[in-house]
Amino acid sequence: MRKNVLKISGLLIMAAIIIISGCKKEDADTQSAEDAARGSYIMADAFSIAKDAQGGKLNKRFSIECFTIDTSFVDGLRITFNQCTDEYGVYRDGTITITATDDAWNGNSTAIISITFDNYVQDDEGISGTITAQAGTGSLGLLYFTLGATDLKLTYSDGDYSIINSAEFTWSISLLNGLEYNGHSNGVTRNGVAYSSVSDDLVFGFCSWPVSGIMTIDVEGENEITINFDQNGSAPCDNIYLVTQKRHRDVELTF
């Protein structure tokens, strides 16, 4: 009888260990979070560069020796980076071509701004595809731009890639927060899984990446993923964001 009790107790202990091990939390899906966040960030960054170049402010972000601006063709300009690294350590190489009339950058314009990439690399990602934008004026007379993208492809150093199939964002100027970014996108992660994302009140301030705001990501067959760009509540310009997912461990990432 005693042996049977010990045997049953041993089996119960083993079962408990198996159950506890099976319930151990895994990290949140950082791959999908990174791919979705990176795609939206690339769009915002490319548009910001185009806007600064059109306004003659690009030399405030980069050393004048590492880029050239060609304005020799009608209705546009071409920016060529030669292994540029900005003050935040972001590396860029290759060409961005902006096609637009001068009034396209003003409110109430119906002109379309087109941004294309030619052998363009940002950090470790090759970028191809086209971004479009159109200016508008908000209720307080503040300028905003509607950004879109189709088949924007990010190719990573190991040969994998992610794609934004389509996207629509609004880049607006806030009296309190500077530049704000809202919108949605859908695409395919580098693991070949479809996703969709919604970005709410992403604030860039004076940084190259968002300092606050939330992005929610839906991936086929997974719990919703949330990115908080203000991971500690102080909105620092530290290039860190927090990835959370139900029944998973939180993870901090950088772009």
Q: How far apart are CA 106 and CA 145, in angstroms?
A: 10
pLDDT score at 20: 41
What is the residue-averaged pLDDT of the chain?
Answer: 83
Confidence of residue 17 (pLDDT cuts 50, 70, 90): very low
Determine, yes or no, domain membership for 16: no
Q: Which domain holds residue 70?
A: 28-254
Determine, yes or no, domain membership for 67: yes
Q: State the CB neighbour count (10 A cutoff) for residue 62.
A: 19
Segment 7-20 shows an average pLDDT of 48
Determine, yes or no, domain membership for 18: no
Determine, yes or no, domain membership for 36: yes
Determine, yes or no, domain membership for 219: yes
Residues 123-182: tens digit of each pLDDT = 889 999 999 998 888 766 678 889 998 889 999 988 999 999 999 998 887 666 667 889
* Predicted model pTM: 0.80
Residue 97: name the closest of 120, 79, 119 by CA: 79
- Alpha-carbon distances, residue 132 vs 14, 147, 148, 150, 168 (angstroms): 59, 6, 5, 9, 9
Residues 147-164: tens digit of each pLDDT = 998 889 999 988 999 999
Token code pair at residue 63: 């050393």
